[in-house]
Amino acid sequence: MAVVIESSVWEPNPGVYIFIFLASLFSIIVFPYASSSGSSSSSGKAPSLFDHGISPTASSLRFQRNFLLIYSLASVMEGVWSVFGEFELAYYGLSREQMMFSLCVGFAASLIVGSFLGVLSDLIGPKKVCILFCILHLFLGLWKRITDHPSILVARICLSLTASIFSFSFETWMVVQHEEQGHRQDMLSETFWLMSFFEAASLIGSQVLSNWLIGDNLEKNMASHSITAVFLAILGLVCLLRGWTQTPQKVALKEYRASFSAYIFGGVSFSYEVEVYSYCCDFVRLPDKRIWLLAWAQACLHFSIAVFWILWAPTIVADGREVHLGLIYPCFLGSRMLGSTVFPWLNSGLSSLRTEDCLVYAFIMLGLVLSITAYDYQKFKLLNADMQEIGVLVTLFCIFHAGLGVVLPSLARLRTMYVPNALRGGMISLSQAPANAAILLFLVQGKYYHNIGNSTIVAFAALGLFTAAGCMHVLKRWGKQPYHNWHKL
């Protein structure tokens, strides 16, 4: 008598999607009313969907909506290429070793070239760098369309550079133009969380679009997302060239280097003469240590996000379980959308928490999630014990992404407080260099020398998040008093 073993493929409950959608909608709709009721304003006007108590001007709303449209379009461009990931590489016949090598090449490109693209953005303006973002997507889409076997290494380098540009250029342009056009400061914080919200929503939309384009005929429609990328890139170029305003950059390399050195490394001195007392004082500018704290927190966050996206799927299927990964992916992004809607609640007058306080708690929560994941992975590898239930792991990962929805706009807000706009792009891109270097080191050591396991990499990511929480605690203490960065010799 034959024994039939039934296998089941795990899928998230459809009710999870409904819950995340309704919770996000509830948070967005209720907040303006709660905010207006807590304010001293006696206006009888009903608040708008994203109004925080003071009616924004038409130009402010137009600016915000135009930016979010361009930013969402760029998010879809980024998401179209990442939907299939390893599946597309396997379709072109790459082995696991070749996939890992291409991943290493991508992080090497981000480290060597991507780290300095932010400096280039500060020098020539973020608009030109964003145009380069669209050109790279256009080149990659056309190349994959006309070539039967495109070079995976070139594709990986292009995508790594576009990801680096995406991480700083759009935010930098928005902040600079927001200040130059004189829009309300509270709308800047509102735009930060809307960026996180629309980015996650656009990534979900790109997944739906890619799956719809390919359909059931994989052989015939595999290149369809390349055509989509070409169309989106052309549309992005049109929006950037026709609807994007920017003050011409007039920053010389020597001036930028002196300013960057003054804020980051210190050492720029000047003399001040007081005629009444007939003496001359020399002062030197000390580096602003608050920028170093922000840079380290940004690096730790970038490292943990990269580690998550590399290892989340191997962690879930570590003991051979079958899972519909494509149905779990929207849960993560939906959780980030929900977390981003919490940001205005935490940073409004309704809450007594400062931004630094929120980041301390959020970083600790993210670190605990990765610590539990690392412990579970290590227990499975060493003791051959059962992994956590898939539902538990997915819940932990959703909590991780909900925390990201709070952390990302909070860090953007602190950058606006402590980082000069003229140095913003360079600070963001250079702060990612240590993270890219660490990821590249762990990939090489783990894959080719087998010196580092996945659980150890996740544990390092958790440790980095805990140190980021410490940085935010120190930043909070230093933020209570004006930071004196001019020191008398």
Give the model confidence (pLDDT) of 414-462 as tens digits. Answer: 999 888 888 899 999 999 999 999 999 998 887 766 778 888 899 999 9
pLDDT of amino acid 467 = 97
CB distance 285 to 267 below 8 Å: yes
pLDDT of amino acid 261 = 78
pLDDT band at 263 (very low <50, low <70, confident <90, very high): confident
In the DSSP assignment, the letter for residue 421 is G
pLDDT band at 264 (very low <50, low <70, confident <90, very high): confident
Task: Give the 3-state secondary structure of residue 282.
Answer: strand
Quick one: average pLDDT of 287-304?
90
pLDDT, tens digit, 9 for 90 and up, residues 233-249: 999 999 888 867 666 66
Q: DSSP characters for 399-425?
A: HHHHHHHHHHHHHHHHHHHHS-GGGHH
Residue that is written with structure tokens 């039939």 in the block = 4
61-251 shares its CATH topology with 294-479 = yes
For the chain, domain boundaries: 61-251, 294-479
pLDDT band at 67 (very low <50, low <70, confident <90, very high): very high
The crossing angle, in degrees rounded to 10, of helices 169-180 and 126-146 is 150
Vertex 253: Cα angle to 249 and 255 (nearest 5) = 85
Handedness of CA 462, 315, 104, 86 (dihedral sign): negative
185 or 216, which is more confident: 185
Phi, psi dihedral angles at 453 (to 5 degrees): -90, 170
Take residue 31 and report the two structure tokens written for it. 């907040």
pTM above 0.85, yes or no: yes
Q: What is the CATH code of the structural domain delimited by 294-479? A: 1.20.1250.20
Quick one: average pLDDT of 304-310?
93
11 or 221, which is more confident: 11
CB distance 122 to 419 below 8 Å: no
Considering the segment(s) 61-251 as one domain, its CATH architecture is: Up-down Bundle (1.20)
Which strand ranges, in their side-by-side order, compose the sheet holding 486-488?
268-274, 279-285, 486-488
